[in-house]
Amino acid sequence: MKLAVLRGGKSAERDVSLRSGEQVAKALRGRGHDVTPVDLDAGTWDVLRDGTFDCVFNALHGRMGEDGTVQGMLELLGLAYTGSGVLASALCMDKSRAAKVMQGVGLHVPEFEELEIKEGVAADVVERVVARFGLPLVVKPVREGSTIGLTIAKDADAVASGLVLAGRYDRRVLVQRFATGTEVTIGVLATPDLQVLPTLEIVSENPVYDYDAKYTAGKSHHIIPARIPEAARAAASDAAARAFIELGCSGMARVDIIVDPEGTPWMLEVNTVPGLTELSLLPDAARAAGIAFDELCQRLVDHAVGRHRRHVGPGAL
Ligand SMILES: Nc1ncnc2c1ncn2[C@@H]1O[C@H](COP(=O)(O)OP(=O)(O)O)[C@@H](O)[C@H]1O
Ligand SMILES: [Mg+2]
C-alpha cells in the first residue's frame, strides 16, 4: 500500500509525535509498504490530496492532531485514516466533557470542577477548591497531554501557581480530587473486534508520572500484568472497554486509570492517539498479548482501509 504517516505538528507533544511517527513508518516499511512521512504544516492538505495514498496513519498527539481537527480534514479529503473519528477524538481531548460522559454511564471519575482562568487567580477560588477537594489536589489543563501543565498541589500556594501554570496551556482548567492507588493504563484495540490488552502498571521514579518520567529511559517501569488483585484487574479492564465504547472510539485507545485499595477503577482519561514508539505503553501491552509492533501498525491500517471502504462502497449510507 501507499501510506502517509502524519507526525510532528504544533502541539506541546510534537517531539513525542516525531518519535512515534518515525517508528510507525519504519514498522510499516518493514511490512513492505511505500511509506511517506508527512510533518503536519500548512501544505499538508495539498500533499495528502495529491498523494494518492491508500491510507493515512495518524501519529499526531495532542491538539491539532488527536483532537478531531485533522480527522475532519481527512474526512473532507475522503481518505482512510487510522484511529478514532472526529467526534470521539474531540471528546477524548476534552478531559472535562469526556469525564462527564464516563460519569453518565456509571464509571468512577475522581470528583472534579472546571474553572475558567482569565486574569489571575482569586484567593477565594483557591480556598474554595482546597475546602472541596482537600490536599493534595490535582490541577490540569482541560485539553493537554503528557502531564504538561499539570500540578499535584500539596498546599494552597501550589494550588494558586498550578492554576496559573495550567491556564497558560488552556483557559479551561480542571481541578480534581487526588486519587490514591495503583496507576495503570489499559490499551483497547477494536480492529474491528474489541480486544482489551493486558493491564499495565506504571511505576515512576519521579513523584509524579510526568513528562520526564514518561520519556526518559529508565525513569519509569512497566509491569504487566499490574500487581493488583484479579477482581480489580477485571473491573479496570471492563471499565476501559466501557469507556472506549461509550466515548465512541475506534481502532485503538489507551485508558489511564488509578485503582484504589478497594479495587475501584478511577478513570483519569482516554488517549485516542497514545504514544507509538516501541517502548510506549500501548505497544508494550500489545506485545505482552502476542501482537508485535509492526503487526499492531498493520492491523490499524487494515481496519482503517476496511472502515473507509464500507463508508464509500456500495451499500454505504
Ligand atoms: N485525579 C488524579 N489523582 C491522582 N493522580 C492523578 C490525577 N490526575 C492525574 N494524575 C497523575 O498525573 C498523570 C497525568 O494525568 P492525566 O489525567 O493522565 O493527563 P495527561 O496524561 O493527558 O497529561 C497521571 O498519569 C497521574 O499520574
Ligand atoms: Mg495520561
CATH of the domain at 142: 3.30.1490.20
Shared domain for 185 and 172, answered yes or no, is no
Mean pLDDT of the chain, nearest integer: 94
Q: Assess if residue 121 is contained within a domain.
A: yes
Q: Assess if residue 312 is contained within a domain.
A: no
**Angle at CA 46, nearest 5°, toward 44 and 50?**
120
Determine which of 6-15, 196-205, 206-215 has the lowest per-residue pLDDT on average.
Answer: 206-215
202 lines ligand 1 (CB under 6 A): no
Shared domain for 195 and 139, answered yes or no, is no
Shared domain for 104 and 241, answered yes or no, is yes
239 lines ligand 1 (CB under 6 A): no
Give residue 209 CA to ligand 1 midpoint distance, Å: 8
Q: What does the pLDDT read at residue 314?
A: 56
**Helix or strand holding residue 206 (H, E):** none
> What is the domain count for the chain?
3
256 part of the active site: yes
CATH code at 104? 3.30.470.20
Give residue 74 CA to ligand 2 midpoint distance, Å: 26
- Region 150-161 average pLDDT: 96
75 part of the active site: no
Give residue 52 CA to ligand 2 midpoint distance, Å: 35
Residue 216 has pLDDT above 90, yes or no: no
Dihedral, CA of residue 203, residue 206, residue 207 and residue 212, to nearest 10: -110
62 lines ligand 1 (CB under 6 A): no
Shared domain for 119 and 162, answered yes or no, is yes
Shared domain for 151 and 36, answered yes or no, is no
Provide the residue type at 180 as one letter: T
271 part of the active site: yes
Show the DSSP H helices in the chain as ranges. Answer: 14-30, 44-50, 69-77, 86-93, 95-104, 123-133, 156-169, 211-215, 230-246, 281-288, 293-312
Report the distance separating Cα 163 and Cα 108, nearest Å: 24
The residue among 122, 151, 177 that closes a domain is 177
Q: What does the pLDDT read at residue 313?
A: 59
Shared domain for 74 and 212, answered yes or no, is no
Using 50, 70 and 90 to split pLDDT, how confident is the model at 316? very low
Q: Assess if residue 310 is contained within a domain.
A: no
Q: Assess if residue 306 is contained within a domain.
A: no
- Peptide bond before residue 110 is cis, with ω within 30 degrees of 0: no
Q: Assess if residue 304 is contained within a domain.
A: no
Percent of the chain with pLDDT over 90: 86
Shared domain for 99 and 212, answered yes or no, is yes
- Region 237-256 average pLDDT: 98
Atom of ligand 1 nearest to the CA of 179: 3
Shared domain for 262 and 274, answered yes or no, is yes
The residue among 138, 161, 177 that closes a domain is 177
**Host domain of residue 122:** 112-177
Atom of ligand 1 nearest to the CA of 204: 27
Q: Assess if residue 302 is contained within a domain.
A: no
Residue 214 has pLDDT above 80, yes or no: no
Residues less than 5 Å from ion ligand 2, measured at CB: 256
Q: What does the pLDDT read at residue 215?
A: 77
Shared domain for 138 and 248, answered yes or no, is no
Q: What does the pLDDT read at residue 224?
A: 97
Q: What does the pLDDT read at residue 317?
A: 43
Give residue 247 CA to ligand 2 midpoint distance, Å: 16
110 lines ligand 1 (CB under 6 A): yes
CATH code at 31? 3.40.50.20
Residue 43 has pLDDT above 90, yes or no: yes
The residue among 120, 153, 177 that closes a domain is 177
- Region 131-144 average pLDDT: 96
Give residue 199 CA to ligand 2 midpoint distance, Å: 15
254 part of the active site: yes
Of 94, 170, 183, 269, the catalytic one is 269
Shared domain for 240 and 167, answered yes or no, is no
Q: Assess if residue 305 is contained within a domain.
A: no
- Region 244-249 average pLDDT: 98
Q: Assess if residue 313 is contained within a domain.
A: no
Ligand 1 probe mutation, 95, 138, 271, most atoms within 8 A of CB = 138
Q: Indicate which ligand has the atom closest to the C-alpha of 170.
A: 1
Task: Give the residue, 286 or 310, on which the prediction is more confident.
Answer: 286
Shared domain for 46 and 169, answered yes or no, is no
Residue 217 has pLDDT above 80, yes or no: no
- Region 206-223 average pLDDT: 82
Shared domain for 104 and 210, answered yes or no, is yes
